[in-house]
Amino acid sequence: MIILSGDHAGYDYIQKLKDYFDKKNIEYKDMGPKTFDKDDDYPDFVAPAAKVVADNPEYWGIFICGSGVGANIVANRQKGIRAVCAQDYTTAYLARKDEDANVLTLGARLTSFRAGLKIIKVFLTSEFEGGRHARRIAKY
């Protein structure tokens, strides 16, 4: 299950992702915003979404705001979240392989939808390597 969240800057991006996931029969839950409101605040949506991911280890989060940074900061405040703000697929791959990242944040103002789909695909299909990386993760 993929948990989607973001803010007004990510709203249209999330709608396109939902259309894409529907076509590919990929299960997701949209945790908002449910409507476009230029005055909404990403912590109101991302914090509860991050909690859902943290409480369900088999879930993934994809959170989208203007830069991806704000959503990333909020997500990483939740114990059990290892969020990466990736602007390229190499970063997404390494975050999964080495850090076992469970949340991907993207910047709707910085990453085209086409590029974002490539990043998302790499993120969702890359495997955690474990080993020394698991030892490191256990330290926090």
Segment 10-20, tens digit of pLDDT:
999 999 999 99
With a cut of 90, say whether residue 126 has pLDDT above it: yes
Determine whether 85 is an active site residue: no
Provide the domain count of the chain: 1
Q: Which helix (H) or strand (E) holds 85?
A: strand 83-85
Q: From CA 94, how far away is CA 52, in angstroms rounded?
A: 24
Per-residue tokens: 91: 């970063």
- CATH code for the domain in which residue 57 is found: 3.40.1400.10
Residues 95 and 101: beta-carbon distance below 8 Å: yes
Over residues 45-75, the pLDDT tens digits come to: 999 999 999 999 999 999 999 999 999 999 9
Q: Which of 65, 81, 85, 86 is catalytic?
A: 65
How far apart are the C-alpha atoms of 92 and 12, rounded to whole Å? Answer: 22
Could you tell me the residue range of the domain that residue 70 belongs to?
2-138
Reported as a single tens digit per residue, the pLDDT across 81-121 is: 999 999 999 999 999 999 999 999 999 999 999 999 999 99
Which residue type, as a one-letter code, is found at position 104? L
How many Å apart are CA 136 and CA 139, to the nearest integer?
A: 5
